[in-house]
Chain A
Amino acid sequence: MPELRNARTAPAGVTILMTNWNHEYLLPRSVGSALRTVRDLRKHGVPAEVLVVDDASRDGSLTLLRQYEALYFEDGLRVLALPKNGGYVGIARNLGMPHAHYRHTVFFDSDDELIPENMIYFYRSMVQTGAALVYGSMIGVGDDADSYTLISNESYQPRILQQNYIGALVLTDRMQLTDLGGYSENPDMFAREDWELHLHLAANGRRVVFVPLVMGIYYDVPNSMTKDADKSAIHQKQHAFIRRSFNQLGIRQRQLLNTRHLRYHPDIGYL
């Protein structure tokens, strides 16, 4: 289990923790949406910041991120440059977590985009439900940029054991995550760390809540890590790992009681 320092309770607010590895050309879109989200949250009285964790990129990312930080530091943009690539996004997220200023943390990949005006609803849902993790739908844009789908559009249910249908873009309670050891750093779960985390939280009785709003846009980028992980041998190994970790006896699907089908909207309540 990774050692996560800084387990002290943090002030209420949102840190958008964005991990980046060699996504220089996609940073303007993702950083821009994160900064707009910070502005929108602050408008609602919620303190917020963007923490970009650069996982030792070799393209021009760090230079560009330095420029953004110089321009937008006063607007809440912070850059943490890791000296060495950990190889897995889970490691970068775990390393970034102790540097987040606020208690609630959005995990966000640098090839995606946030919907700024909706984040306040996810934040309110999180505070009101005491969840460890809330998530919403994502608009999926195909790599031809001309086809659209709605993904991550279901509440938590036993089907998660067969397939991760929840996107990597989530809002979490960093304290609960820290107490449970953060993301898995097991190399077998390459590009599927988020799936393992969702199951890990549920298995430990933490709430995973679906909010029926669009949280962001997922771009199906050519040559992404997810595509590498889709290669069948890796895929099968990961499924075996998940089965072994969470459902060795094949009964887990009957026990996801604390989080099963939790759907919530802050203006309505549980749905």
Chain B
Amino acid sequence: MNTETIFSSYKPIEQYLELLQTARGIVPSVLIRGIDAFLMRQIVLCYPSAPTVVDLAGAATVGASTVFWAWMAGSMQMAVGMQPAWDVNVVEGWPSLASDGSSAQNIHPLPFIGSESLEMPGEWAITKAELSINSLSPLFFTLAQTDGTPAEIQKRIECLLNLERNAVILLFPIGTTGESAALEAALNVCRIGSDYRLSLMREVSPFFATSQLAVISRRDNQHIPSILDRIRALYDGNFNYLALAEENIKLHLQSAKIQSVAITQVTPDAERQPDGSVAVPPLSQRLLKRAKTFIRKLTGGQVIEHRLHYVKALLPNQMQIGETYECSIRVRNDDPKPWYTPEQSKNCINIAYHWKSEKGEMLVKEGQRSPLLAAVFPGETATLPFKVTMPGQPGKYQLEVDFVHEGVAWFSDTGAPGPTFAVEVLP
């Protein structure tokens, strides 16, 4: 089972960089991305025969790439580092400082070579012999290139391919098209008609979109495309992202349709209207009521629906602006629970009202509250006094009497709207 993940591949680099930053305050100019560590490791692990990796990225990554390959040494024929421009002791001493025992025990010391070994084919042949590099082992070069013109980078790549025509080059960081010298150089090396193929890992799968790794290999090397397919399948597998998204939307729409059918096509119950008539509430009211019930359920609250019967109300139909009037209303408590006074419960029942325009638009939601003088028990009918303060502007208004269950809800919001009266407010 392939249990490699980005996390497991990147871990030695992450630990090394953390130590480097803490001890020396060094941050490399080239940072290997987690996804690229994973992809490089996969390419090497999946290659049919154990390759020899020559790491030329050590200077740019301040040893991070060298640590990475040294950690993988057991899975390869050999890893070779370049004679480092940084403190080699940091790299060689790193394993003993690693906090994770599993990483430390995988680290192997690796041989280093000088840059002159790569400049001439003759020198390279001697170096290979000196290091006892198995000539049957496929050769990989790791190259980190951020500076230099495209022509200079191209020359460097071609120089490496002259040394080993079958070599695979792992090149990073590849930037955006038109702005990356490394990308332009790689494209020139792998132009149409050349013997080499360029594989940009970010094009292999949408899940590698953040990758900055490019692989240069001979066109007749069939292992690389096959390995890339295999790595892609680890991510894409049987999972077709767009098809799933489409399916999900379809299911969602289907479910929404069922919901809307449930609300619109089922014959709803008739309810008593504010004017006393009995009618089926309009769709907008039914949807609102359903949404409120849903939200209450969602928040774990108990759905409390109040029931009462308005018998009679006494209030003047012409009043002066700003004045407060004593009114009364006679109601029957049809709730299963008593309505308590403020002295009896903090969740008591108060009488209040809303001011609406003549057309029914809400003008004042929170009308003045009047407390109950005594508890009203289930089934009991009582006449309850309450105060109403007139609006500050003269005109024709609607006054909706309502009860409020303090801290819980208005009765009108829980299935028991109050009666509405036309009132003319005089100047």
Interface residues as binary, B1-45 with A (CB distance below 8 Å gives 1, 0 otherwise): 101111110110000000000000000000000110000000000
Closest to B35 in A: A70
Give the docked Cα–Cα distance between A83 and B4 (Å).
9
Q: What chain A residues lie within 8 Å of B135 (beta carbons)?
A: none
Contact A56 B5 (CB under 8 A): no
List B62-99 residues whose CB lies under 8 Å from chain A: 99
Most B C-beta atoms less than 10 A away, residue of A65, A81, A82: A81
Give the docked Cα–Cα distance between A79 and B7 (Å).
6
- Which of A10, A80, A98, A146 interacts with B7 by CB under 8 Å? A80
Judged by a CB distance under 8 angstroms, whether B207 is at the interface is: yes
Judged by a CB distance under 8 angstroms, whether B377 is at the interface is: no
How many A-B contacts are there with CB distance less than 8 Å?
Answer: 72
- Which of A5, A56, A82, A148 interacts with B101 by CB under 8 Å? A5
Q: Known: A60-B237, A60-B238, A63-B234. Contact between A139 and B300, CB under 8 A? A: yes
Q: Known: A60-B238, A70-B208, A73-B34. Contact between A78 and B7, CB under 8 A? A: yes
Give the docked Cα–Cα distance between A45 and B206 (Å).
32
Contact B6 A70 (CB under 8 A): yes
Q: What chain B residues lie within 8 Å of A83 (beta carbons)?
A: 1, 3
Give the docked Cα–Cα distance between A213 and B4 (Å).
38
Closest to B8 in A: A80
Judged by a CB distance under 8 angstroms, whether B297 is at the interface is: yes
Judged by a CB distance under 8 angstroms, whether A239 is at the interface is: no
Judged by a CB distance under 8 angstroms, whether A51 is at the interface is: yes
How big is chain B's contact interface, by range?
Answer: 20 to 34
Interface residues as binary, A9-44 with B (CB distance below 8 Å gives 1, 0 otherwise): 010000000000000000000000000000000000
Q: What chain B residues lie within 8 Å of A245 (beta carbons)?
A: none
Q: What chain B residues lie within 8 Å of A80 (beta carbons)?
A: 5, 7-8
Q: What chain B residues lie within 8 Å of A71 (beta carbons)?
A: 207
Contact B6 A79 (CB under 8 A): yes
Judged by a CB distance under 8 angstroms, whether A69 is at the interface is: yes
Q: What chain A residues lie within 8 Å of B6 (beta carbons)?
A: 66, 69-70, 73, 78-79
Judged by a CB distance under 8 angstroms, whether B102 is at the interface is: yes
Q: Known: A5-B100, A5-B102, A66-B234. Contact between A148 and B300, CB under 8 A? A: yes
Judged by a CB distance under 8 angstroms, whether B318 is at the interface is: no
Give the docked Cα–Cα distance between A63 and B8 (Å).
15
Q: What chain A residues lie within 8 Å of B208 (beta carbons)?
A: 70
Q: What chain A residues lie within 8 Å of B11 (beta carbons)?
A: 99
Closest to A65 in B: B5
Contact A69 B7 (CB under 8 A): yes
Interface residues as binary, A134-147 with B (CB distance below 8 Å gives 1, 0 otherwise): 00000100000010
Closest to A5 in B: B101
Interface residues as binary, B294-337 with A (CB distance below 8 Å gives 1, 0 otherwise): 00010010000000000000000000000000000000000000
Contact A66 B1 (CB under 8 A): no
Interface residues as binary, B182-214 with A (CB distance below 8 Å gives 1, 0 otherwise): 000000000000000000000000011010000
Judged by a CB distance under 8 angstroms, whether A8 is at the interface is: yes
Q: Known: A60-B238, A79-B5. Contact between A70 and B207, CB under 8 A? A: yes
Contact B1 A70 (CB under 8 A): no
Give the docked Cα–Cα distance between A50 and B10 (Å).
15
Closest to A69 in B: B6
Which residues of chain A have a CB within 8 Å of any CB of chain B? 5-6, 8, 10, 51, 56, 60, 63-67, 69-71, 73-74, 78-83, 98-99, 139, 146, 148
10 sample A-B contacts, Cβ–Cβ < 8 Å, listed by A number: A10-B99, A64-B239, A65-B5, A67-B207, A73-B6, A73-B10, A73-B35, A80-B7, A82-B3, A99-B100
Which residues of chain B have a CB within 8 Å of any CB of chain A? 1, 3-8, 10-11, 34-35, 99-102, 207-208, 210, 234-235, 237-239, 297, 300
8 smallest beta-carbon distances between A and B, as pairs: A78-B7, A81-B3, A70-B207, A148-B300, A63-B237, A79-B5, A5-B101, A73-B34
